Chains A and B, each alone.
Chain A
Amino acid sequence: MYLQLAWRNIWRNPRRTIVIMTAVVIGVWAMIFLGALMRGVSAQMVKNGIATLTGHIQIHQRGFRNDPVIENSMHEPEMVEALLAEYLPSDARWSPRVRVDAIANNARHSGGLTLVGIDPEREAGVSFIGQAVVKGEYLDAGDEYGIIVGQALVDKFETKLGRKLVFMSQDTERDIASRAFRIRGVFRAEMEATEKQYAFITKGAAQKMLKLGAGISEISILLADYEDAESVADNLKEVIPPDSYEVETWRELLPLVTAVLKMYDWFIYIWYLVIFIAMGFGIVNTILMAVFERIREFGLFRALGMKPLWIVKEVLTESFFLLTLGMIIGSGLGLLSIHALADTGIDLSALSEGLEFVGMSRVIYPVIIIRDIVVANLVVLVLGIAVSAYPAIKAARFTPVEAMART
């Protein structure tokens, strides 16, 4: 009967109950839905960062990361490759690369970019480039003069498929290395900056152009689950000589993304708090109104022998019902909204140039994390009950005579 009393009391003034419940529903919906969008942004940033060329783990010659010149390349990668074959999980994929800053020229334009020499077959399983060619064709392993460039670079250089681009860089002997490549394919990437930044040739062509022999700049590793990156990297660090090589995870390779992710974690919880504060005033106000409307009744409860603590419990139970109903509906709507956008996402193309600065995609897909839903609901429930304590205590403090004298 105790619960029945609380349940019936919240429906004594249905309009007021619906108004406050709507506030809770909107609050919970906003927490879950906008939280999922933020998670989507951060997940996309990680995905973009990893898929672009980072991978989950990279191995470099010690010193390359501080000074990424061609002299700091891995000169004997075979030993590392043999260790990878032995110690990496069977579902992991890896790809060796040559990577060098270069200047691209054609008759009309010139500009700086990163020239990447790849093993086409291995690279297709590691980075985005295997699936990104939209015009022309992907590279063959033996292609000495073929190059794949981004659509944005093609536009910038006013060139097209089949035309030549000349690349200049510095070789291992510190001489200017120069070579012309023909555009075999054009790729599209999630971010326009990627299309302008990278041009892909075969590893053999890069080694020849830069007089690198069998040397490479890095090995990029892709695991089945990015959460395993730390443990796999730790295992590799035990077998790969640390004085010659550096093994780093995506968190170390993408410090900006890592920092943004950390910031998002906190931002989501601050967001929850901000929403709750707005909602909290509504809750306190409504419960307070309900309490003052029923002061005579609380006086009666006291007169009949109900202890003050029971009155607090009674008011808090009413809040609990209100909050729980709002939470159930709000969470349901939040999940429905997320489901509705799961395939299409939200297109932010109009803002894409600004967003790309921090590695965000043009389209944001919401990502559900159970922990966020639980935390959002807990914030509403725990803080909602906490703010309801004020009117509840107020209701319990009236003496029976004082309360029953109220009209």
Chain B
Amino acid sequence: MNIVECRDVRKIYRQGKVEVYALRGVDLSIEEGGFLALAGPSGSGKTTLLNIIGGLDYADAGSISVNGNQIDRMNQTELANLRLHNIGFVFQAYNLIPVLSALENVEFVMLLQGVSPTERRSRATAILDDVGLDGLYHRRPAELSGGQQQRVAVARAIVSNPSIVLADEPTANLDSKSGEGLLEMMREMNEKKGVTFIFSTHDKMVMDFARRLVQIRDGLVAEDQVKE
């Protein structure tokens, strides 16, 4: 079963009178439980595609279905709900909330979901233990290394059991050892919990880890390779 269906997705950015074609008609299906990397050079449109799949941005044309929801027809509030309950995000720059501790950062999404404080706490500590951050619950982002911050970001992305995790260049700011550890951890989550992971990346290591590699060039799917 496909968890993401993109049909003829187009996106144009307008800068004054100049039109930049970011996506020129992308067709892509992503199966549930997939571990997929969108690769391509800078400006190829991979981050734009990831943002559109995640409901962070609208496509100008085409249809996008995520987890059975036709998101191109949703308004901002509906998209916010979809993101809250179905999609987890991991960003290149970690994007943790600086005034909250690791534990509170992980709890934050559950707070928005209305999960009770006791359950929030127990689920957040469990997931932080899973990503190897036991004992660092009460450290704020500034007190953690880049790798540890990105692990908190992953924990935040998966703590509410989303169907999909979208990771935009998750290893870009990490050294190779931290990056590999993070990818191993995400692959384990994918295998254990069945969460679909979609990466956008230039990183060879991420491409090697992915079970499916989709090359995007000039706003189109140039190559779609499923590994054995």
Contact = CB atoms under 8 A, between A and B. Distances in A.
The binding surface of chain A is classed by DSSP as: helix
Interface string A388-407: 00000000000111001000
Contacts of A12: 98-99
B100 interface: yes
A300 B97 contact: yes
B95 to A, nearest CB: 5
Contact of B108 (A1, A302, A308): A1
Contacts of B109: 304-305
A310 B107 CA distance: 16
A72 to B, nearest CB: 79
B83 A305 contact: yes
Contacts of A174: none
A1 B107 contact: yes
Contact of B104 (A1, A296, A304, A305): A1
B57 A401 contact: yes
Interface in A71-126: none
B84 to A, nearest CB: 3
For chain A, which range describes its interface: under 10, 10 to 19, 20 to 34, or 35 or more residues?
A: 20 to 34
B99 A9 contact: yes
Nearest to B162: A305
Interface in A109-151: none
Contacts of B56: 302-303, 399-401, 404
A2 interface: yes
B80 A305 contact: yes
A262 interface: no
B54 interface: yes
User: Which of the listed residues A1, A9, A304, A404 has the most CB atoms from chain B within 10 Å of its own CB?
Assistant: A304
A302 B54 CA distance: 12
A5 B112 contact: no
A336 interface: no
B104 A300 contact: no
B57 A310 contact: no
A297 interface: yes
Contacts of B99: 5, 8-9, 12
A303 B54 contact: yes
Contacts of B80: 302, 305-308
Contacts of B83: 303-305
Nearest to A11: B99
B85 interface: yes
A401 B112 contact: no
Interface string B92-104: 0001011110001
B108 A304 contact: yes
Nearest to B51: A401
Contacts of A306: 80, 84, 112
Contacts of B156: 304
Nearest to B84: A305
Given A1-B104, A1-B107, A303-B56, A308 B76 contact: yes
B89 A304 contact: yes
A308 B98 CA distance: 20
B77 interface: yes
Nearest to B166: A303
A304 B57 contact: no
B95 A404 contact: yes
B81 interface: yes
A306 B81 CA distance: 8
Interface string A295-333: 011001011111110100000000000000000000000
B111 interface: yes
A2 B111 contact: yes
Given A304-B83, A305-B80, A401-B56, A310 B51 contact: no
Given A1-B107, A310-B112, A399 B97 contact: no
B122 to A, nearest CB: 15
Interface in A1-56: 1-2, 4-5, 8-9, 12
A308 B104 CA distance: 21
B51 to A, nearest CB: 6
A304 B104 CA distance: 14
A6 to B, nearest CB: 10
A12 B141 CA distance: 14
Contacts of A8: 99-100
Interface in B113-127: 113
Interface in B133-180: 156
Nearest to B57: A401
Interface of B: 51, 54, 56-57, 76-77, 80-85, 89, 91, 95, 97-100, 104, 107-109, 111-113, 156
21 contacts: A1-B100, A1-B107, A1-B108, A4-B100, A9-B99, A12-B98, A12-B99, A297-B98, A300-B95, A302-B56, A302-B80, A304-B83, A304-B84, A304-B89, A305-B81, A305-B83, A306-B80, A306-B84, A307-B77, A308-B80, A401-B51
Given A305-B113, A306-B112, 19 more contacts: A1-B100, A1-B111, A2-B111, A4-B100, A5-B100, A8-B99, A9-B99, A297-B97, A297-B98, A303-B83, A304-B112, A305-B109, A305-B112, A306-B80, A308-B76, A400-B56, A400-B57, A401-B56, A404-B56
Enumerate the 5 nearest inter-chain pairs by beta-carbon distance, A residue then B residue, closest first.
A305-B84, A8-B99, A305-B83, A400-B56, A401-B57
